[in-house]
Amino acid sequence: MIEFVNVTKQFEDAGNIALENASFKIENGEFVFLVGSSGAGKTTITKLIMRETNVSEGQVFLDGIDVTALPDKEIPFLRRKMGVVFQDFRLLEDRTVYENVEFAMRVVGASRREIRKRVPEVLSEVGLNYKAKMYPRQLSGGEQQRVALARALANHPLILIADEPTGNLNPKTAMEIMDIFEEINRMGTTIIMATHAKDIVDVMKKRVIEIQDGHLVRDEVGGEYLEAVQV
Amino acid sequence: MKLSKFKYSFSEAKKNVTRNGLMSIASLFTIACCLIILGVFAILSVNVNSITEQVKDQCEIQLYINTDTSEERVTQIGQEIEKTENVKQVTLFTKEQTLEYAINDMFEGNETMLEGFEEDNPFSDSYKIVLNDIEKTKETVESLEKIADVEKVVNKQDVVNVVLSISGAVKKFSIVIMIILLIVAIVIISNTVKLTVFNRKKEINIMKYIGATDRFIRVPFVLEGFIIGFLGAVAAFLVVFWGYFALLKYIAGLNFDLFELVGIWDIAPFIAILFVVFGSLIGVVGSAISMRKYLHV
């Protein structure tokens, strides 16, 4: 379970408040959309969960552990509970699909046997096992995002954080990717997705947390991407 | 660190070295050059030390006794010299021995010049004295001069002083040069690794998101520095070894016997260890420095 308790984040360099007094809970296995206009504070929430940045005030709990108080050396182990997917895929261009996924497992010290077993498994989960030997540049945008998804899932994360995962994809491919997300969620992984994709949010009918100017303005189960939100 | 992780880090480091081929070669070459200069100064220092020791051994004091002194007194003077502080060894040269030496060695072929000297030997008895510590020559000479019937004490203090001051200056200069070279080499390798780190910023970023520890990220880069430093050390060793070997061979051909240079097998292990330690240290420290600022994601 993720819990934000009166969290405020003020960036020292910019001086502006990215998030103010935000409190909410996300239960294990939930699928949550973070919506809001650009700069509203969606990415700040994901960064706070990963401890890529820390709060100015308040606390963030992950399964009862206060993430804000974690010593720096514990952060890598916190992140191993999560998988991350970005809008720009962030794949390693000089490595094959297989090697990109293998890399994620190497990083956390998985054995060769585990890697040999898990990589084909996770590639087939995203429907890409037949392209294991290809390089990212040989793949379409949708396929590259699937590789990124496979990489994020390789280490069996409890939480999958996605920042605009369909931003660079056409509507049809975006929906295919969302099907994979839904399948992953059905298997029990919590999904937190920051997005601008109105169509997707409206179709999926999941919980929607809306942020405006650093304030949590709506938290609605089965919600929609409201017209009022400016893209 | 687990063996599998170390193997992975090492293979990543090897890949980095080849990926940045030209830059790695440039760094390797520069480090080798720095180490070669370092080696030249190290060899110079070792030889200056050895030559100083040889000069010390050769540096004797000659004590001359008044010509009319009795044999008994000469023996007594010998005992007094032995009792003097800092005296290691005393050898008597009688005036007869000195004359014989003059006839046979110094005036060889012109013996006629010394004809008649057997009856009226102009030389005096003398003692050849070897000291324990040549840096205390002045004090010892002063004590020896106080012994009765001593005509004069001749020493090569000036030569010794020159040798000692040259040796001291060479040592100090070598240390300064070594420190400068060490810093230069560290800066060079840290720039090479910085370039690698910069090229792989995206990869480091992803690693951080996946949950790689700082150590896991840092080790391949530090190993990369180590590999370049180590290879630079091997290259430098081969050049210095060959160069010194050629120098020794050249000097041996000159029949120069004033002093001996340190043998190649006496110095080779020292140079090898010096290079490997310095080369690896340069690599590891240089990489560690360039890694620091890239680990914050």
Res. A77: pLDDT tops 50: yes
- Alpha-carbon gap: A78 to the closest alpha carbon of chain B (Å): 7
* Candidate from A77-86, A170-179, B63-72 with smallest mean pLDDT: B63-72
Using an 8 Å CB-CB cutoff, list chain A residues near B297: 52
Give residue B118's pLDDT. Answer: 67
Neighbours of B258 (CB within 10 A): 8
Q: Across the interface, do B209 and A50 touch by the CB < 8 Å criterion? A: yes
| pLDDT the model gives residue B257 | 65
Query: In terms of CA atoms, which chain B residue is nearest residue A89?
Result: B206
Q: Are residues B5 and A109, on separate chains, in Cβ contact within 8 Å?
A: yes
Reading the block at residue A99, the tokens are 């090697």
> Which chain A residues touch B205 with a CB distance below 8 Å?
90
pLDDT at position B17: 74
pLDDT for residue A5: 95
Q: Is the pLDDT of residue B297 over 50?
A: no
pLDDT at A147: 95
> What are the boundaries of each domain within chain A?
91-156
Q: Which tens digit of pLDDT belongs to each residue from B180-193?
A: 888 887 887 777 77
Chain B positions touching A76 (Cβ under 8 A) are: 208, 211-214
Structure tokens at B230: 């180590």
Give the range among A61-65, A177-181, B277-281 with minimum mean pLDDT. Answer: B277-281
State chain B's mean pLDDT as an integer: 81
Contact with chain A for residue B296, Cβ under 8 A: no
pLDDT of residue B221: 81
Interface test with A, best of B2, B210, B292 (most A CBs within 10 A): B210
Instruction: Answer for the pair B227, B283: CB distance below 8 angstroms, yes or no.
Output: yes
pLDDT category of residue B296 using cuts at 50, 70 and 90: low
What is the average pLDDT across B209-216?
Answer: 85
pLDDT in tens, B108-118: 666 666 666 66
Q: What is the pLDDT of residue B16?
A: 73
CA distance A192 to A212: 17
Reply yes or no on whether the pLDDT at B258 is more than 60.
yes
Q: Are B89 and B101 in contact (CB under 8 A)?
A: no
pLDDT beyond 70 at B256? no
Rounded to the nearest integer, the mean pLDDT of chain A is: 89
CA–CA min distance A230, chain B (Å): 29
Q: What is the mean pLDDT of residues B80-100?
A: 85
Which residues of B fall within a CB distance of 8 Å from A52?
297
> Concatenated DSSP letters for chain A?
-EEEEEEEEE-TTT--EEEEEEEEEE-TT-EEEEE-STTSSHHHHHHHHHTSS--SEEEEEETTEEGGG--GGGHHHHHTTEEEEETT----TTS-HHHHHHHHHHHTT--HHHHHHHHHHHHHHTT-GGGTTS-GGGS-HHHHHHHHHHHHHTT--SEEEEESTTTTS-HHHHHHHHHHHHHHHHTT-EEEEE---HHHHHHH--EEEEEETTEEEEEETT----TTS--
Min Cα separation A107/chain B (Å): 5
Say yes or no for a CB contact (<8 Å) between B211 and A78: yes
Average pLDDT over residues A156-163: 93
Looking at CA atoms only, how far is residue A228 from chain B in angstroms?
A: 33
**Res. B277: pLDDT tops 60:** yes
Least confident range from A27-36, A184-193, B18-27, B280-289: namely B18-27
For B18-73, what is each residue's pLDDT tens digit? 776 777 788 788 888 888 988 888 888 888 888 877 777 666 788 898 888 888 88
A107/B212 CB distance under 8 A: yes
Instruction: Give the pairing of strands A65-66 and A57-62.
Output: antiparallel
The better pLDDT of the pair B221, A70 is held by A70
The closest alpha carbon to A154, from A94, A110, A190, belongs to A110
Return the pLDDT at B260.
Answer: 78
| A193 contacts: CB under 8 Å, gap ≥ 6 | A31, A32, A33, A34, A161, A162, A163, A165, A181
pLDDT exceeds 50 at position A157 = yes
- The closest of A53, A50, A49 to A24, measured between CA atoms, is A49
Quick one: pLDDT band at residue A149, thresholds 50, 70, 90?
very high
Domains and CATH numbers, chain B: 3-55+161-295 (no CATH), 60-155 (3.30.70.3040)
CB nearest B8 (choices: A76, A106, A151): A106
Contact flag B2-A78 (C-beta cutoff 8 Å):
no
**What is the mean pLDDT of the segment spanning A103-107?**
88
Q: Answer yes or no: is pLDDT of B294 > 70.
A: no
Nearest CA distance, A218 vs chain B (angstrom): 29
Distance from CA of B200 to the nearest CA of A (A): 9
Instruction: Provide the pLDDT confidence category of residue A231 given band limits of 50, 70 and 90.
Output: very low
CB contact under 8 A, A76 and B205: no
Residue of A79, A91, A102, A107 for testing the chain B interface, max B β-carbons within 10 Å: A107
- The pairing of beta strand A65-66 with beta strand A82-86: unpaired
- Smallest CA-to-CA distance from B128 within B226, B58, B43 is with B58
Interface with B, mutate which of A79, A101, A103, A106 (most B CBs under 10 A):
A106
- Secondary structure of A155-211 as H, E, C letters: CCCCEEEEECCCCCCCHHHHHHHHHHHHHHHHCCCEEEEECCCHHHHHHHCCEEEEE
Ranked by mean pLDDT, the top range of B26-40, B226-240, B276-290 is B226-240
